[in-house]
Amino acid sequence: MPTKKELNIKSIHQFKVNDISGKEVDLAAFEGKVLLIVNTASKCGFTPQLDAMEKLYEEFKEEDFEILAFPSNDFAGQEPLEGEALQQFCMVQYNAQYPIFEKTHVKGRNASELFQFLSSKKLNGKVNSSPKWNFHKYLVDKDGRVVDYFYTITNPLSSKIKRSIRKLLKA
């Protein structure tokens, strides 16, 4: 039977990224989970969304849901922290229990392969939306397909996001 890669299915499960400590993580490990992928920053006016993200994670973590946080310094230099300092900030200030990945580029020519995929309908088959600021959110179904996105101003605890997550968890 052909694999997803052989079938050219548009899925985030084809990517490998580095976690906050630099260890490679195969996103195929998240197969079967609904994901909210967010580009974050520690010195942004929207940084308190890290608290809302943790509350959302706590609400759904027992139901095959995961948040993947990707710190980025692409917007006004609002992510000056690196590695351990960044991990400590997220854990101590906001009790973040979800995976935090290595700082990455999320827009433009230097965007990581994952964020190029998330941002381009031509690549992901569903949405055309690159981050315009920190805390842009992508919703991914259990098969790794991008199904929706939410702008920075959408609070992670919004009814719109929660409804979308519940719908995907039931699918």
Catalytic site residue 90?
A: no
Domains of the chain: 11-165 (3.40.30.10)
**Predicted confidence (pLDDT) at residue 85 exceeds the cutoff of 90:** no
pLDDT average, residue stretch 161-167: 98
Of residues 97 and 65, more confidence is placed in 65
Check 34, 35, 37, 44 and give the catalytic one: 44
Closest C-alpha among 8, 9, 16 to residue 142: 9
In this prediction, residue 8 carries a pLDDT of 55
Of residues 14 and 95, more confidence is placed in 14
Q: Which amino acid is at 115?
A: F
pLDDT average, residue stretch 78-96: 78
Give pLDDT tens digits for 114-157: 999 999 999 999 999 999 999 999 999 999 999 999 999 999 99
In this prediction, residue 89 carries a pLDDT of 75
Percent with pLDDT over 70 in the chain: 94
Cβ neighbour number for residue 45 with a 10 Å cutoff: 12
Of residues 23 and 8, more confidence is placed in 23
In this prediction, residue 84 carries a pLDDT of 78
144-165: b or e for each residue (b if 16 or more CB lie within 10 Å)?
bbbbbbbebeebbeeeebeebb
**Predicted confidence (pLDDT) at residue 4 exceeds the cutoff of 50:** no
In this prediction, residue 137 carries a pLDDT of 98
